[in-house]
């Protein structure tokens, strides 16, 4: 029997309205509603179209889906999703991203089911931050700067480089994934109700420095704005939260003492080109370097306006020097987990794709941002292993030649 809820989950995760899906299927919107609510079952041709649209097997629609099997009901608080975005998001978009995280959370549950994970330091850090904020009388800007300094220390970042930024944030408990996003959204983050932190990064047209700021910005939301209901904020409140996350990101990426030592060597602090070597060292944009210099009082308001005007004249607000050269950090944590459980025989990747998740490899690529070739390698390796076993024992299947 066709399970309508499975279709609903996929549709929401992909961000389609019923009307949009009905147009793709060449049926009425009412027909899609009937499929999802189990009033009617779609014909075979419709099911074939659905599996092509969502990159799943036909049987996906006739058995309990992965959210029933591997997720915790009510674990994704949709109202708490924090966006790095130019605009406030409509609720339908937020629901789509929440459903995406629900699938990701199920995936992480699946691949870590046979592993014992250590207590995540990011949770301990979050509790330390909450305790400090609840008992501190410092003004907000000073609080954020202190928390940024503490975070860098607790996560193990040295004070002279951001080269291991993503690795150390993942190592300390955050699950980072990539996915294509709308132009207006750079990234978003969320704590699940079971204390699993996610950062989702847009992977389109990004530079290394922009990605680093996105990561630091979302880390700021995870630590400063735990349990904030972002969907209930008005524009003024949303802007204030974004400014706090930006302030955290600047202070976190450019630790005060080390950065001041570097910037004091510059002859012309209002000339963006003078900051290029610092950009190469810290892997942060010229714009962020100027922003941090202004926050630390190196640039007064007039000098910062001149700096920004120079960025505009040189075309650096669209593309900066080194943007084509600096390597972009990519999430590695989940790939390492998959590699570990596959090599130890704890998870059969072929079984995961075909039987347990009932999807195509391209489904995992869209879900996790991990390239199709990564999953393909395990399928090819398994097939090669089976061929070797057959070839090693020819007599067992055909007698002596």
Residue 397, pLDDT > 50, answer no
Q: Do 235 and 88 touch, CB atoms closer than 8 A?
A: yes
Distance set, CA 48 to CA 34, 36, 59, 216 (Å): 17, 16, 10, 42
Nearest of 360, 386, 387, 356 to residue 375 by alpha carbon: 360
The band of 86, judged by pLDDT with boundaries at 50, 70 and 90, is: low
Q: 144 by DSSP, 3-state: which?
A: helix
Task: Kindly state whether residues 104 and 184 are assigned to the same domain.
Answer: yes
Task: Kindly state whether residues 117 and 234 are assigned to the same domain.
Answer: yes
The band of 387, judged by pLDDT with boundaries at 50, 70 and 90, is: very low
CATH of the domain at 195: 1.10.10.2910
Task: Kindly state whether residues 143 and 33 are assigned to the same domain.
Answer: no
Residue 85: predicted pLDDT? 60
Residue 92: predicted pLDDT? 62
Residue 116: predicted pLDDT? 84
Nearest of 26, 33, 45, 27 to residue 7 by alpha carbon: 33
Q: 117 by DSSP, 3-state: which?
A: coil
Cα separation of 19 and 92, whole Å? 13
Residue 390, pLDDT > 80, answer no
Residue 391: predicted pLDDT? 41
Q: How many domains does the chain have?
A: 4
Task: Kindly state whether residues 200 and 213 are assigned to the same domain.
Answer: yes
Spatial neighbors of 242 by CB under 8 A, at least 6 apart, are 84, 85
Residue 388, pLDDT > 50, answer no
Of 382 and 269, the one with more pLDDT: 269
Among 309, 331, 353, where does a domain finish?
Answer: 331
Residue 90: predicted pLDDT? 58
Residue 94: predicted pLDDT? 83
Average of pLDDT values for 103-114?
Answer: 96
Residue 181: predicted pLDDT? 78
CATH of the domain at 48: 1.10.260.40
Residue 89: predicted pLDDT? 54
Task: Kindly state whether residues 194 and 259 are assigned to the same domain.
Answer: no
Residue 382: predicted pLDDT? 55
Residue 398, pLDDT > 70, answer no
The band of 120, judged by pLDDT with boundaries at 50, 70 and 90, is: confident
Task: Kindly state whether residues 202 and 232 are assigned to the same domain.
Answer: yes
Average pLDDT of the chain is: 90
Residue 184: predicted pLDDT? 67
Average of pLDDT values for 306-332?
Answer: 95
- Lowest-confidence region among 14-28, 203-217, 283-297, 302-316: 203-217
Residue 231: predicted pLDDT? 85
Spatial neighbors of 348 by CB under 8 A, at least 6 apart, are 342, 382
Find the domain containing 283 and state its range: 255-331
pLDDT digits (tens, 9 = 90+) for 135-194: 999 999 999 999 999 999 999 999 999 999 999 999 999 999 998 877 667 899 999 999
Residue 117: predicted pLDDT? 78
pLDDT digits (tens, 9 = 90+) for 35-78: 999 999 999 999 999 999 999 999 999 999 999 999 999 999 98
Cα separation of 165 and 147, whole Å? 17
C-alpha dihedral (78, 82, 84, 89), degrees to nearest 10: 40
Nearest of 355, 379, 353, 356 to residue 368 by alpha carbon: 353
**Beta-carbon-side half-sphere exposure of residue 349 (alpha carbons within 13 Å):** 23
Among 34, 63, 92, where does a domain finish?
Answer: 63
Task: Kindly state whether residues 342 and 281 are assigned to the same domain.
Answer: no
Task: Kindly state whether residues 77 and 186 are assigned to the same domain.
Answer: yes
Cα separation of 109 and 306, whole Å? 51
Task: Kindly state whether residues 244 and 131 are assigned to the same domain.
Answer: yes
Q: Do 215 and 252 touch, CB atoms closer than 8 A?
A: no
- For the four alpha carbons of 68, 69, 75 and 76, in that order, the dihedral sign comes to negative
Task: Kindly state whether residues 94 and 116 are assigned to the same domain.
Answer: yes
What is the percentage of the chain residues whose pLDDT exceeds 70? 91
Residue 119: predicted pLDDT? 73
Task: Kindly state whether residues 129 and 80 are assigned to the same domain.
Answer: yes
Residue 393, pLDDT > 60, answer no
Task: Kindly state whether residues 317 and 347 are assigned to the same domain.
Answer: no
Cα separation of 239 and 241, whole Å? 5
pLDDT digits (tens, 9 = 90+) for 190-219: 999 999 999 999 866 679 999 999 999 999
Average of pLDDT values for 264-281?
Answer: 95
């Amino acid at each position: 029997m066709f399970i309508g809820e499975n279709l609903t989950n996929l549709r929401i995760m992909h961000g389609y309205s019923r009307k949009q899906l009905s147009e793709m299927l060449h049926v009425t919107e009412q027909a899609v509603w009937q499929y999802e609510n189990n009033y009617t079952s779609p014909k075979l041709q419709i099911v074939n179209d659905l599996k092509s649209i969502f990159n799943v097997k036909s049987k996906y629609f006739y058995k309990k889906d992965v959210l029933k099997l591997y997720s915790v009901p009510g674990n994704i608080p949709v109202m708490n999703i924090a966006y790095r975005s130019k605009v406030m998001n409509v609720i339908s978009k937020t629901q789509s991203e929440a459903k995406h995280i629900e699938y990701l959370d199920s995936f992480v549950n699946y691949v870590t089911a046979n592993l014992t994970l250590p207590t995540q330091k990011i949770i301990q850090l979050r509790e330390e931050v909450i305790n400090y904020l609840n008992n501190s009388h410092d003004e907000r800007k000073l609080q954020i700067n202190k928390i940024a300094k503490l975070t860098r220390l607790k996560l193990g970042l040295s004070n002279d480089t951001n080269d291991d930024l993503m690795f150390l944030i993942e190592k300390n408990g955050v699950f980072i994934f990539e996915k294509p996003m709308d132009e207006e959204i750079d990234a978003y983050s969320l704590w699940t109700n079971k204390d699993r932190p996610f950062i989702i990064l847009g992977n389109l047209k990004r530079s290394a420095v922009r990605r680093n700021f996105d990561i630091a910005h979302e880390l700021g939301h995870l630590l400063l704005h735990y349990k904030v209901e972002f969907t209930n904020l008005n524009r003024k409140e949303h802007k204030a939260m974004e400014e706090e996350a930006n302030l955290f990101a600047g202070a976190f990426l450019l630790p005060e003492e080390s950065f001041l030592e570097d910037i004091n060597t510059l002859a012309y602090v209002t000339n963006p080109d003078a900051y290029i070597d610092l950009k190469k060292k810290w892997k942060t944009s010229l714009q962020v370097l100027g922003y941090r210099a202004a926050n630390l009082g190196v640039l007064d308001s007039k000098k910062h306006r001149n700096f920004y005007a120079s960025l505009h004249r040189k075309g650096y607000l669209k593309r900066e020097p080194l943007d084509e050269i600096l390597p972009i950090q990519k999430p590695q944590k989940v790939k390492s987990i998959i590699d570990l459980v596959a090599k130890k025989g704890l998870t059969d990747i072929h079984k995961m794709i075909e039987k347990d998740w009932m999807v195509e490899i391209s489904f995992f690529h869209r879900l996790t941002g991990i390239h199709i070739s990564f999953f393909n390698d395990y399928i090819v390796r398994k097939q090669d292993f089976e061929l070797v076993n057959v070839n090693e024992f020819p007599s067992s299947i055909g007698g002596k030649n």
